[in-house]
Structure 1
């Protein structure tokens, strides 16, 4: 048996160097040209073939010693429009972004480093496993759209039939060295919306001569808050929030319009999200009719599904963590209400998304994602890379036939789902 943890530890210097390069050179969604060029440079150096998928990202592959299953490993590559400070929660950073206003504030720098390390070692050990490993480096995960081009290539143009998929996401609240594996949905689905309510303005002294979009919004918002109680089963989790609200400029004038924007999140589209999304439209229609208003949908794609962890893959992953890292490395899993484009990939192929712990308060690592203080303890990347490798090796050795039903939704519709 390969001592996976020890092999990754031997490569830790390169694993950390990879993460620091990506952290120092972040690029925003759909602009990750230099990031992907660097990934390609590393793959070429290790003798791993790859293909640049226009607008989508990069697909690489490694063939084992014989026929077998095909496993897809996925990492996202984009950064966020956040200005990074000199410190994290309490300490000077070990490395900082060199691109002003752009920061790897979600951990994708760690995702790329772990996947590249997995690629390097799987290539080194390719005479010890059967099958094929496909590596997907995904552009623009924060904006979702580029995944369409990668999945279209895999589904229609590539020579492979993907049998299973794997991804990991670093977590700010799990100690470095620990790994968490949820038995059900690890990350939420949801939908975003931006709506303009059109009324008829007037002077504040004669509200009877106006159709107030503010009154209309008040009715809509109250009914949406109540909808959670009457449409969402008690055991299901669903959030609804307004993040942006703009209307009017003068205290004594009823405005002509109001614009609202927000999101809803859920862990089950079938049991909570679907009806909530449909009722959203009905409640908005009713409110506008009652208050003499109309509305325009400025943004409201069909809901993104929750990420789905397949039970067979969960079992393989948990046993791999215990075998290759140790039973103490497995931490209890709390689902995360954030959303992920891996939800779409895991609808097409049975798979799993694990959580890699990166918290270390002594190093100042523990701030939430998408904040200027976010930072990761690089020691956690060792366990994350080892988990990926352990799952891959064991899955390819076991060659399980996984019961799985693909959606009958056309690919074009599936990939259009978004927040």
Structure 2
């Protein structure tokens, strides 16, 4: 079966529940919510209207919920019989940027109406798909064994909401977790639920190098933090070759630099910041250690000092799909959308707070492809031309519902050691 006809032809059966048909029935509902959220986006921890939209929908569906301050919304769907519980997670916030009215080759169906706020990452689609899945699950709760916990997270883009909502979720307790991210470079109709590392862990660095100011005509009487930074930057660029394991993935970059106010003045100091992303914790530790060693040595060489605004500290927080859960997801996709819908996709080097959920609950973070050349969809996430192929939303709903059913009904033993620290300790 061709991928292009996937969304119109594939079906699934789970007992007497035809999940794909149910997803098609709520498809316009999902699309309408996505378009509404897209028109009125709200940035991290300012999702007032977005929370109102979601809670009003939960009320209409008869789903009990609570609002977690600076965390998001948690809804509960109780099945007809007792059993396991699963968290289904989506994110609410938009980015602080403006978007273009066109995607890669045509006008977008819907564009943000709010200045300096835009859903250019796909969170509008994530929230809409979760509400669509919730509608199906609550309407069929008499066939549901166990409990479904809906988690709509605030502030995903800057990580501001995860601590509050995860703290509450750990209090409630669950046996597993599921999340979806629309993916701009995966073909529409394709889904990745591979086991193992899926998104990178990261550390941030923010540093001030301190020198001695002076007149541009006598650099010998000054101590230039610019010269010091240039030397450090060149050494940082070759750190991968000289100090890090070439068989372990890592990327790092400088994102901002600020120094000086005049062309003829050597500045007192220079500030720079950036990030490193890695798929193996020990590689992150080595990178952070070497970063600090280089900075100390090179500042000393240039007679400069430095101060950390944010010190690079590696954390073991990568999105990592549990092997048993990934196998359940794999079978769920095959039984609903066919084996041809599955695609193996390498880890995405961006980072995601979903990693925090997976410290406490085993689960899967799925990538759902939205790239459609004909529709002009395929611009990178956080790009002003980013757009969504809305035809895939029903696939995300289908996958979410089927994985939920299969997970709750599965008797497979999951070999998982939950984090013993309280949630707040992960942030120190």
Q: TM-score if structure 2 supplies the norm length?
A: 0.92
Distance 2:422 2:234 in 1: 36
Q: Is the 8 A contact 1:216 1:293 kept in 2?
A: yes
Distance 1:410 1:294 in 2: 37
Secondary structure (helix, strand or coil) at the match of 1:196 reads strand
Task: Give 1:283's aligned residue.
Answer: 294
Structure 1 residue 348: Cα displacement: 1.6
Secondary structure (helix, strand or coil) at the match of 2:83 reads coil
Superposed CA offset, 1:102-153 (max 9, x none): 1100000000011111111111121112111111000000010211111111
Matched, 1:346 2:353: no
Please show how residues 11-410 of structure 1 align to structure 2 within 5 Å: 11-156=26-171, 158=172, 161-268=173-280, 270-300=281-311, 302-303=313-314, 305-410=317-422
Q: Is the 8 A contact 1:77 1:138 kept in 2?
A: yes
Distance 2:43 2:235 in 1: 38
Superposed CA offset, 1:126-184 (max 9, x none): 1112111111000000010211111111223x3xx211111010000112221112222
Of stretches 320-329 and 392-401 in structure 1, the one that deviates more from structure 2 is 392-401
Secondary structure (helix, strand or coil) at the match of 1:339 reads coil
Structure 1 residue 408: Cα displacement: 4.4
Q: Is the 8 A contact 1:196 1:260 kept in 2?
A: yes
Q: TM-score if structure 1 supplies the norm length?
A: 0.94
Q: Which runs of 5+ in 2 are unaligned?
A: 1-14
Secondary structure (helix, strand or coil) at the match of 2:80 reads coil
Distance 1:396 1:253 in 2: 66
Q: Is the 8 A contact 1:72 1:133 kept in 2?
A: yes
Distance 1:101 1:206 in 2: 44
Distance 1:272 1:405 in 2: 22
Q: Which runs of 5+ in 1 are unaligned?
A: none
Distance 1:216 1:228 in 2: 20
Structure 1 residue 205: Cα displacement: 4.3
Secondary structure (helix, strand or coil) at the match of 1:131 reads strand
**Selected match of 1:6 from 17, 21, 24:** 21
Distance 2:267 2:387 in 1: 44
Structure 1 residue 288: Cα displacement: 2.0
Of stretches 405-414 and 240-249 in structure 1, the one that deviates more from structure 2 is 405-414
Structure 1 residue 303: Cα displacement: 4.1
Distance 1:33 1:153 in 2: 20
Q: Is the 8 A contact 1:344 1:415 kept in 2?
A: no
Aligned residue pair count: 412
Distance 1:399 1:130 in 2: 12
